[in-house]
Structure 1
Amino acid sequence: MKADVTIIGGGPAGVEAALSAAEWSKNVILVSNHPIGELKSAYTNMILNHEKDILKYQTFWNPLFEQRKKEWEISLSAKLIEKGIHIVKGTAEFIDQETIRVFSDDEHLIQSNKVIVATGSHPVFPNKMQPDGNRIFSYQNIYKLTFIPSTMLVVGDGPIGYEMVNFFSNLGIKVTWLFPQQPFELYHENIQNYLLDFYIDKGVNIIKGPYVTSVVSKGGACCSKKRRW
Structure 2
Amino acid sequence: MSQYDVIVIGGGPGGYVAAIRSAQLGLKTAVVEGKHLGGICLNWGCIPTKALLRSAEIYHYMTHAQNYGLSAQGVGFDAAAIVKRSRGVSGQLNMGVTGLLKKNKVDVIWGRGSIPAPGTVKVEAARETEYGKPNPAPRGALGAGDYKAKHIIVATGARPRVLPGLEPDGKLVWTYFEAMVPPAMPKSLLVVGSGAIGIEFASFYRTMGVDVTVVEVMAQVMPVEDEEIAKAARKQFEKQGLKIHTETKVVKLDRGADSVTATLEFKDGKTQTLTVERVISAVGVVGNVEGLGLEALGVKLDRGTVVTDGIGRTAVPGIYAIGDVAGPPMLAHKAEHEGVICVEAIAGKHVHPMDKAKIPGCTYCHPQVASVGLTEAKAKAAGYEVKVGRFPFIGNGKAIALGEPDGLVKTIFDKKTGRLLGAHMVGAEVTELIQGFVIAMNLETTEEDLIHTVFPHPTLSEIMHESVLDSEGRAIHI
Structure 1 158/226 Cα, relative in aligned 2: closer, same or farther at 3 Å?
A: same
CA RMSD after TM alignment: 2.9
Q: What is the letter of the counterpart of residue 161 of structure 2?
A: V
For residues 90 and 226 of structure 1, the distance between their equivalents in structure 2, rounded to whole angstroms, comes to: 42
For residues 115 and 232 of structure 2, the distance between their equivalents in structure 1, rounded to whole angstroms, comes to: 45
Q: What is the letter of the counterpart of residue 14 of structure 1?
A: G
1:78-131, CA deviations, whole angstroms, 9 ceiling, x for partnerless residues? 221222211123332222222222232564322210122233443223465454
Q: Which residue of 2 is the match for residue 200 of structure 1?
A: 238
1:139-176, CA deviations, whole angstroms, 9 ceiling, x for partnerless residues? 33323213222211111121121122222222222111
- Structure 2: give runs of 5+ residues left out of the alignment: 61-74, 127-142, 266-478
Q: Which residue of 2 is the match for residue 41 of structure 1?
A: 46
Structure 1 66/175 Cα, relative in aligned 2: closer, same or farther at 3 Å?
A: closer
Aligned with residue 87 of structure 1, among 108, 118, 123: 108
For residues 123 and 164 of structure 2, the distance between their equivalents in structure 1, rounded to whole angstroms, comes to: 25
Q: Which residue of 1 is the match for residue 91 of structure 2?
A: 70
Aligned with residue 222 of structure 1, among 254, 260, 268: 260
Structure 1 206/116 Cα, relative in aligned 2: closer, same or farther at 3 Å?
A: same
Q: What is the letter of the counterpart of residue 187 of structure 2?
A: S
Q: SS of the residue aligned with 1:71?
A: helix
Q: Give 1:99-110 correspondences, 5 Å limit.
A: 99-105=120-126, 107-110=144-147
Q: SS of the residue aligned with 1:34?
A: coil
For residues 262 and 147 of structure 2, the distance between their equivalents in structure 1, rounded to whole angstroms, comes to: 44
Number of equivalent positions = 228
Q: Is the Cα–Cα contact under 8 Å of residues 206 and 242 in structure 2 kept in the other structure?
A: yes
- Structure 1: give runs of 5+ residues left out of the alignment: none
Q: Which residue of 1 is the match for residue 436 of structure 2?
A: none
Q: What is the letter of the counterpart of residue 7 of structure 1?
A: V
Q: Which residue of 1 is the match for residue 4 of structure 2?
A: 3
- Shift in Å, 1:212: 4.3
Q: Is the Cα–Cα contact under 8 Å of residues 219 and 246 in structure 2 kept in the other structure?
A: no
Bigger drift between 22-31 and 121-130 goes to 121-130
For residues 130 and 157 of structure 1, the distance between their equivalents in structure 2, rounded to whole angstroms, comes to: 18
Q: What is the letter of the counterpart of residue 49 of structure 1?
A: R
Q: Which residue of 1 is the match for residue 190 of structure 2?
A: 153
Q: SS of the residue aligned with 1:49?
A: helix
Q: SS of the residue aligned with 1:147?
A: coil
Structure 1 190/121 Cα, relative in aligned 2: closer, same or farther at 3 Å?
A: farther
Structure 1 8/222 Cα, relative in aligned 2: closer, same or farther at 3 Å?
A: same
Higher relative contact order (CA 8 A, sep 6+): 1
Aligned with residue 218 of structure 2, among 181, 185, 191: 181
Q: Is the Cα–Cα contact under 8 Å of residues 34 and 110 in structure 2 kept in the other structure?
A: yes
For residues 226 and 96 of structure 1, the distance between their equivalents in structure 2, rounded to whole angstroms, comes to: 48
Q: Which residue of 1 is the match for residue 379 of structure 2?
A: none
Q: Is the Cα–Cα contact under 8 Å of residues 133 and 145 in structure 1 kept in the other structure?
A: no
Q: What is the letter of the counterpart of residue 198 of structure 1?
A: Q
The two structures have a TM-score, normalised by structure 1, of 0.83
1:207-229, CA deviations, whole angstroms, 9 ceiling, x for partnerless residues? 234554764423631233687xx
Amino-acid identity (%): 21
Name whichever structure is richer in strand by fraction.
Answer: 1
Q: SS of the residue aligned with 1:141?
A: helix
Q: What is the letter of the counterpart of residue 18 of structure 2?
A: A
For residues 134 and 153 of structure 1, the distance between their equivalents in structure 2, rounded to whole angstroms, comes to: 14
For residues 107 and 225 of structure 1, the distance between their equivalents in structure 2, rounded to whole angstroms, comes to: 47
